[in-house]
Amino acid sequence: MASVAEPEAKADLDAFREEVRAFLAENFPPELRGKNNLLSSVEEAGEESPAEKAWRVAMGEKGWGTPTWPKEYGGGGLTKKQARALEEEMAKVGAWNPIGGMGVMMLGPTLLEFASEEQKHEHIPPICKGEIRWCQGYSEPNAGSDLANLQTMAEDKGDHYLVNGQKTWTSGGQWADKCFCLVRTSRADKHKGISFLLIDMHAPGVEVKPIKMISGMSPFCETFFTDVQVPKESLVGEEGQGWTIGKKLLQHERTNLSGGGALAALNSQPLGKVAERYIGLDENGKLADAELRVKIADFEMRWNAFLLTARRAMEESKAQGGVSEISSILKKAGTKLGQERAELMIAIQGYRGLGWEGEGFEQKELDGTRAWLFGKATTIYGGSTEIQNNIIAKRILGMLDHQ
């Protein structure tokens, strides 16, 4: 059977590639080639140039920024194979996906699973078009790793909820239009008293204060809700179902954070080559700093083992049709390695790996300093390493809850 079906599928895929090429030729502005800003998800959205806007709109209208999401809500409706072909064709011409952010990475997949039809039609198309920015209202000053301890209250007032409380670590909160939020609709039960609410960041009573981080950036905010009225239609799922929905969303988040994501890509120069430039080789052709040479080799070998593990997790989940057990170690291991790499870069570059601003540094050296500091967040956010250890111990290894 496969022998009959496959040539046909291949022909379909070839035709699709043709369509992609034609689309890219017509719509991708050549001046944007390779200009994807990998830090954009943690930076302020600058003014879009006309070319950038045109590119985002073109991709958004096709639904190809969210290629595998259903067409009826604005997605591309593509198969996985087609989505891969799209990615490959874009890479060939230096094009990139202009549609991203938390709406795409986290909220969209969650809405597709839990939201009502009306909510899907209202919220998913603007995500697919990259028209609005979402932020995440989970953490609170006393509900970080112990997330279920959150206290922000949403009181039922008949036709609306009245929301009061404080969130923190709201990434991109100052630039966001809307917030997907975990709120307390009942104090009776720690977990079942939590609901999943979509809140307009421009509503009266919402106040945002950016927090300046050690990296000098302020991508995180404190968000205060004072008597904010949120319509009842903004509740996703049932009242009290928020913990279940919220946890599911965190799985999407973890998957996206495991590789150190954009920051890892930013640091993709091979360390050995970088070291050769800064340290030089001795008469035997080895790096002049023997200890550092060993550290770099050790790191690169462990990093390769991590990449092999990520590949294995993907192959396993494809074969099993579910999530591989080892995906839970990817966030823990990947973020740790990302941090080790940043520290090694400093060890290699010396003072020039610590440049803050101004003269005497290359741009990528300055970027490296910020990436090193920002990267410290990776083992804290999205479920800290310690929380990942708890999850591994209990869910995978079957170790008991402490008494």
Partner 1 sequence: MAVLNDEQEMLRDMAREWTKNEHPVGAWRKVRDAGEPFDADAWGAMAEMGWAGIIIPEEHGGSDFGWMSLGLVVEELGKSLAASPLIASALAASAIVLGGSDEQKAQYLPRLASGELIGTLAFDEGPRHAGLKASASVHDGRLTGTKAFVHEASRAGLFVVLASDGVYLVEQGQGVTLSSRALADMRDHAEVDFNNAPAQKLAAGGDALAQKILDRARVLTAAEMLGMCQAVFDTTLDYLKQRVQFNQVLSSFQALQHRMADLYSELEMTRSAVEGGLQALDSGFAVTEAAMLAKARANDALHLISKEGVQLHGGIGMTDEYDVGFYLKRARVLEAAWGASSHLRDLFATAKGY
In the range 362-401, which residues lie near partner 1 by CB under 8 A? Answer: 386, 388-390, 392-394, 396-401
Q: Which is nearer to partner 1, 19 or 276 (CB)?
A: 276
List Cβ neighbours of 328 (8 Å cut-off, separation of 6 or more).
254, 388, 391, 392, 395, 396
**Residues 136/170, Cβ–Cβ less than 8 Å:** yes
Q: Which is nearer to partner 1, 234 or 349 (CB)?
A: 349
User: How many Cβ atoms are within 10 Å of 152's Cβ, its own excluded?
Assistant: 23
Fill in the DSSP letter of residue 273.
H
Q: Which is nearer to partner 1, 21 or 286 (CB)?
A: 286
d(CA 133, CA 347): 37
Residue 376: CB minimum distance to partner 1, A = 19
Q: Give Rg (Cα) of the chain.
A: 23
Helices (H), 165-289: 242-257, 261-266, 271-279
Q: Are strands 160-167 and 153-156 parallel, antiparallel or unpaired?
A: antiparallel
Nearest Cα neighbor of 345 from 291, 266, 275 is 275
- Catalytic residue flag (residue 253): yes
Residue 112 tokens read as 């597709």
Interacting residue with partner 1 among 25, 214, 308, 323 (CB under 8 A): 308
Residue 244: CB minimum distance to partner 1, A = 24
Q: Quick check: 340 binds partner 1 (CB under 8 A)? A: no
Count of helices and strands (H, E) across the chain: 13, 8
Residue 286: CB minimum distance to partner 1, A = 7
Q: Quick check: 323 binds partner 1 (CB under 8 A)? A: no
DSSP 114-169: HS-HHHHHHHHHHHHTT-S-EEEE--BTTBSSSGGG---EEEE-SSEEEEEEEE--
Q: Which is nearer to partner 1, 46 or 285 (CB)?
A: 285
d(CA 198, CA 112): 14
Interacting residue with partner 1 among 305, 322, 362, 364 (CB under 8 A): 305
Q: Quick check: 122 binds partner 1 (CB under 8 A)? A: no
Q: Quick check: 281 binds partner 1 (CB under 8 A)? A: yes
Q: Which stretch binds partner 1 (CB under 8 A): 158-166, 247-255, 327-335, 376-384?
A: 327-335
Q: Quick check: 329 binds partner 1 (CB under 8 A)? A: yes
Q: Which is nearer to partner 1, 11 or 294 (CB)?
A: 294
d(CA 242, CA 183): 8
Interacting residue with partner 1 among 134, 306, 361, 374 (CB under 8 A): 306
Q: Quick check: 216 binds partner 1 (CB under 8 A)? A: no
**Residues 68/78, Cβ–Cβ less than 8 Å:** yes
**Residues 254/383, Cβ–Cβ less than 8 Å:** yes
Sole residue written with tokens 């059977």? 1
Q: Which stretch binds partner 1 (CB under 8 A): 78-86, 109-117, 182-190, 296-304?
A: 296-304
d(CA 54, CA 49): 9
Q: Which is nearer to partner 1, 203 or 292 (CB)?
A: 292
Q: Which is nearer to partner 1, 49 or 320 (CB)?
A: 320
Q: Quick check: 2 binds partner 1 (CB under 8 A)? A: no
Which member of 253, 316, 359, 365 is catalytic? 253
d(CA 250, CA 96): 25
Interacting residue with partner 1 among 315, 323, 350, 364 (CB under 8 A): 315
Q: Quick check: 293 binds partner 1 (CB under 8 A)? A: yes
Residues that bind partner 1 (CB under 8 A): 270, 272-273, 275-276, 281, 285-287, 293-294, 296-298, 300-302, 304-306, 308-309, 311-312, 315-316, 318-319, 326, 329, 332-333, 386, 388-390, 392-394, 396-403
